Amino acid sequence: MKRIILHCDLNNFYASVECVKNPQLKGKCVAVCGSEDDRHGIVLAKSQPAKMLGVKTGDTILEARRKCGNLIVVRPDFDTYYDYSEKVKSIYSRYTDLIESFGMDECWLDISGNENLSGDGLAIAEEIRNSVREETGLTISVGVSFNKVFAKLGSDMKKPDATTVISKENYKDKVWCLNANEMIFVGRRTFKTLQKYGIITIGDIARTQPDFLKKILGKNGFDLWAYANGLDFSPVSHIDSKPIPQSISRGITCMESLLSVYEAERVVAELSVKVSKNLRREHLLATGVQLAIKEDNLTVQQYSDNLEFPTHNAKEIYEVSQKLLFQKHIWKRNIRALTVRTYNLVKEENYQQLHIDFDIDTHEKVCVVDNTLNGIRKKLGNDKIFNGCRLYGTKMPTGKSEHSSLPPASF
């Protein structure tokens, strides 16, 4: 069967969602950025008008404002971005169930065989583009090709809101003239290595002996030669065949150093809630928890322990994290950053073996409470209900061990 692969890329995704949420932002220079206060003030996404003035992803807010004096900065809303991503995928699913995500805003679609029902690849791509625009207010760029690598290249060639076809007949004319680093899997370091040998374009890669590329780049060299010559036969995964991630974590670098174990505890509690939310979203349970602590001198201490029973409940994740903080960590310096990581993840629907001492009744009660809290947050916002440890005391002058006699805050 003739392969027809689409690569659909949502244009300026985060910024575009913000403009849909707030129509007053449409047509203006908008940048989605981290907070300037907590030292994460870089551009995560920008609107098309801001992009045209030179604002780039990764710019600091200061750099972006120098390029664009009327820049409007908004904070990211990842929950909303995820919801829009799922809405767009539901449109894709009308045409195929072979949908492979490549980040929140990009997907490959294998529509091979659908041309008899909906038209050729170009016609289907145009139909999908129109549906996404009409139903979500967002725009996508689509690459249409006979493999995944060239489909990805196609979606990058015309932006925003466009379709590019790269066929077996025209790929040498359209692709080989492009710089090598425009092809997926050619990163900055690989491109620098290629440049040393005068290999600048994708066509140069295609015309170079594969054995030589393998010699200078390892196995990746042969793969790049194959991709440049259109020899990519990798399949598009089924929409439900998501590989289980090795871990899910959330971390934060604090605006000010944490001066006591109880200040750190409050941060650990909030991170546990966020990790729990991500686990639920992926329908996964964790069997282990790791706490990473970065001190003021930038040294990192890591502690881990197993959970009694696989869970995605914030309270149970927090309790293990709190134990690691209070019992394992020896406080020598103030804390600059914290990360709560869950690992050894299993699917929610898998059967789990109980051990004889496990209190399943308490676990199920915690599940009910956690589900209720998540329902409230989803309906009213994350700031409407929070953990009791947020209310614990004020900043303590030191983080010395004498504070360990104080009671831990309530979750």
pLDDT digits (tens, 9 = 90+) for 5-62: 999 999 999 999 999 999 999 999 999 997 766 545 789 999 999 999 999 988 888 8
Per-residue pLDDT, 168? 94
DSSP state of 7: E
Contact 224, 185 (CB under 8 A): yes
Per-residue pLDDT, 113? 82
Q: Which residue has the higher pLDDT, 411 or 87?
A: 87
Does the pLDDT at position 350 exceed 60? no
What SS3 string covers 17-80? HHHHHCHHHCCCCEEEECCCCCCCCEEEEECHHHHHCCCCCCCEHHHHHHHCCCCEEECCCHHH
Per-residue pLDDT band for 374 (boundaries 50, 70, 90) equals low
Residue 23: partners with Cβ closer than 8 Å, 6 or more residues away = none
Q: Give tens-digit pLDDT for 166-177.
A: 999 999 999 999
What DSSP assignment string belongs to 222-260?
A: HHHHHHHTT---PPPPPTT-PPPPSEEEEEEEEEEEE-S
Per-residue pLDDT band for 244 (boundaries 50, 70, 90) equals confident
Around Cβ 163, how many Cβ atoms within 10 Å? 23
Find the angle CA(65)-CA(66)-CA(72) to the nearest 5 degrees.
Answer: 15
Per-residue pLDDT band for 298 (boundaries 50, 70, 90) equals confident
Per-residue pLDDT, 21? 93
Does the pLDDT at position 392 exceed 80? no
Per-residue pLDDT, 179? 96
In a 3-state reduction of DSSP, which class is residue 2? Answer: coil
Q: Which residue has the higher pLDDT, 128 or 59?
A: 128
The rounded distance, in Å, linking the Cα atoms of 30 and 178 is 30
Per-residue pLDDT band for 294 (boundaries 50, 70, 90) equals very high
Q: In the predicted model, what is the mean pLDDT of residues 286-311?
A: 90
Per-residue pLDDT, 397? 32
Highest mean pLDDT among 202-216, 237-251, 327-341: 202-216
Least confident of 79-83, 270-274, 388-392: 388-392
Per-residue pLDDT, 35? 72
Does the pLDDT at position 290 exceed 70? yes
Does the pLDDT at position 352 exceed 60? no
Does the pLDDT at position 388 exceed 70? no
Does the pLDDT at position 401 exceed 60? no
Q: At what angle do helices 13-21 and 78-92 cross, to 10 degrees?
A: 100
Q: In the predicted model, what is the mean pLDDT of residues 243-253?
A: 85
| Mean of the per-residue pLDDT values of the chain | 85
**b (16+ CB within 10 A) / e for 64-87:** bbeebeebbbbebeeeebeebbee
The pTM of the full predicted model, rounded to 2 decimals, is 0.66
Least confident of 33-42, 235-244, 339-348: 33-42
* Residue that the structure tokens 């496990």 belong to: 358
Per-residue pLDDT, 236? 93
Residue type, 219: K
The domain locations on the chain are: 1-167, 176-237, 247-405
Token digits of residue 91: 């449109």
Q: Is 106 a catalytic residue?
A: yes
Q: Which residue has the higher pLDDT, 356 or 203?
A: 203
Marked catalytic residue, from 36, 63, 100, 106: 106
Q: Among residues of the chain, what percentage have pLDDT more than 90?
A: 57
Q: Among residues of the chain, what percentage have pLDDT more than 70?
A: 82
Which class would CATH give 247-405?
Answer: alpha beta
Which class would CATH give 1-167?
Answer: alpha beta
CATH number of 176-237: 1.10.150.20
Does the pLDDT at position 353 exceed 70? no
Per-residue pLDDT, 42? 85
Per-residue pLDDT, 399? 35
Residue 392: partners with Cβ closer than 8 Å, 6 or more residues away = 262, 265, 266, 409
In a 3-state reduction of DSSP, which class is residue 346? Answer: strand
Does the pLDDT at position 400 exceed 50? no
Per-residue pLDDT band for 246 (boundaries 50, 70, 90) equals confident
Does the pLDDT at position 135 exceed 90? yes
